[in-house]
Amino acid sequence: MFVPTGSFLQIPWQNPAHTDNCHQIAVQTSVTNISLVKSKALFAESTFNMSINPRGHLTLSVYDGFFFNHKNSEKRWNLSDNIMHDIAFCASDSSFNLTIDGEPSIHFEGNWTFFQSFNVWTFMDKNFTGCVSRMRVGSSFPLKNPKAARLKHSGRIRFGSCSMDVIDTRQPSARTPDDEGIHIHAIAHAKHHIISVTSIVGLAVAGFLALLLSILVCYMRSRPEGVYKTNEGEYSPSRSEEPLVNGVPAGGKEYFC
């Protein structure tokens, strides 16, 4: 069964006919710092918590509801290595034993008669992502017969086989370019930016100069000819009214702009 992030699996009240002191679960995940199995008693203060710590090691914490709090960690296995690991644990009146992949792991001595009072089971917290199989709670098998085991679940859980490509949901990290590539790209981008700015400034200056030259030419062509003093008045008064140039009316002007 594939269990994605945000899923919820719980047996809110175990069927009394399925009560037993032995339980089993197999998990495959790459996530750390998560809870795998939590249990409590409806009519007692005893609690059970099996989790994966930040280093990937299995951690167990059990409170008998009266005096003793049993804690231990198994450092020989890394349960976050994305490999299926089978975890089984049983309690008797005087001891508790847990195995990982069939090998003895955590062991406690003492009075464990309280263990049979656990009847509320919660599996996988909301941060868990991975595969769950071979789940056995007492004498029931919640994955094979969820209704008989009173298993409640929510989320995008996928029952059935759990292939490797489905389990490893970690996205491959995008390749980070090395410093040299970043440096070359930055230089090329800077050069391109400088060339673009220079081209724009050059075109603007050329356009301004062309406009200024056009204005100057128009001004030179269209300005008044002016009045010039001649000596005709002193020697030929009778011809003072005649135009200086034949064929051009007096007062006529030419404009080119």
| Residue 44 falls inside a structural domain | yes
| Residue 143 falls inside a structural domain | yes
| Residue 241 falls inside a structural domain | no
| Residue 138 falls inside a structural domain | yes
What was the pLDDT predicted at 7?
A: 94
What was the pLDDT predicted at 71?
A: 96
119 within 8 A of 19, measured Cβ to Cβ: yes
Phi then psi for residue 121, to 5 deg, are -125, 130
- The count of domains in the chain is 1
| CA-based nearest residue to 37, from 107, 125, 105, 152 | 125
What was the pLDDT predicted at 216?
A: 80
* pLDDT tens string 49-74: 999 999 999 999 999 999 899 999 99
In CATH, what number is assigned to the domain containing residue 6?
2.60.120.200
Q: Name the stretches of the chain with pLDDT < 70.
A: 163-197, 223-257
| Residue 105 falls inside a structural domain | yes
Domain carrying residue 22:
2-154
| Residue 237 falls inside a structural domain | no
| Residue 57 falls inside a structural domain | yes
What was the pLDDT predicted at 29?
A: 96
| Residue 244 falls inside a structural domain | no
